[in-house]
């Protein structure tokens, strides 16, 4: 699952800032494990593209899907609190259908 969150409804050159949340599974020495990663992206005028910095990554070989999903949801709530509420995800990777905005109920449970 990959989701990108912006403060504005759609990305804009020279202005945009975003967070990318990634939840995926990998084969490890102990079987299948999950990985969670959070990146922060800012528009780089010189490069004319987003420049990303990894804010957090959890690659613990014992991380279950439920634990990784908990990290994903907590990160999503935390960045929604600072205004990153416009969500974009490829439809094939989106976990469930919904609007492209974090709901007030999701913020209230944060």
Where residue 13 falls among pLDDT bands split at 50, 70, 90? confident
Residue indicated by tokens 């599974």: 25
- pTM assigned to the model: 0.74
pLDDT in tens, 50-95: 899 998 888 777 888 899 999 999 999 999 999 999 988 766 444 4
pLDDT at 40: 94
Rounded Cα gap, residues 83 and 93, in angstroms = 23
pLDDT at 88: 81
pLDDT at 90: 67
**Is the pLDDT assigned to residue 102 strictly greater than 60?**
no
pLDDT at 77: 95
**Is the pLDDT assigned to residue 19 strictly greater than 90?**
yes
As given in the structure block, the two tokens for residue 35 are: 């990985």
Average pLDDT of the residues of the chain: 79
Rounded Cα gap, residues 30 and 50, in angstroms = 36
Q: What is the mean pLDDT of residues 6-11?
A: 86
Which ranges constitute the DSSP H helices of 5-99? 65-81
As given in the structure block, the two tokens for residue 11 are: 């990305």
- How do the residues of the chain divide into helix, strand and coil, expressed in percent and rounded to 5? 20, 40, 40
Domain residue ranges of the chain, discontinuous segments joined by +: 2-108
Q: Which residue has the higher pLDDT, 13 or 109?
A: 13
Rounded to a whole number, what is the distance in angstroms from the first to the last CA of the chain? Answer: 20
């Amino acid at each position: 699952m990959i989701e990108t969150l912006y403060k504005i409804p759609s990305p804009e050159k020279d202005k945009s800032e975003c967070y990318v949340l990634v939840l995926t599974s990998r084969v490890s020495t102990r079987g299948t494990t999950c990985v969670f990663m959070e990146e922060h992206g800012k528009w780089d005028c010189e490069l004319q593209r987003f420049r990303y910095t990894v804010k957090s990554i959890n690659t613990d070989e014992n991380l279950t899907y439920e634990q990784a999903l908990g990290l994903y949801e907590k990160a999503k709530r935390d960045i929604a609190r600072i205004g990153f509420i416009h969500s974009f995800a490829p439809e094939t990777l989106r976990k469930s259908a919904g609007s492209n905005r974090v709901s007030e109920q999701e913020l209230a449970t944060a």
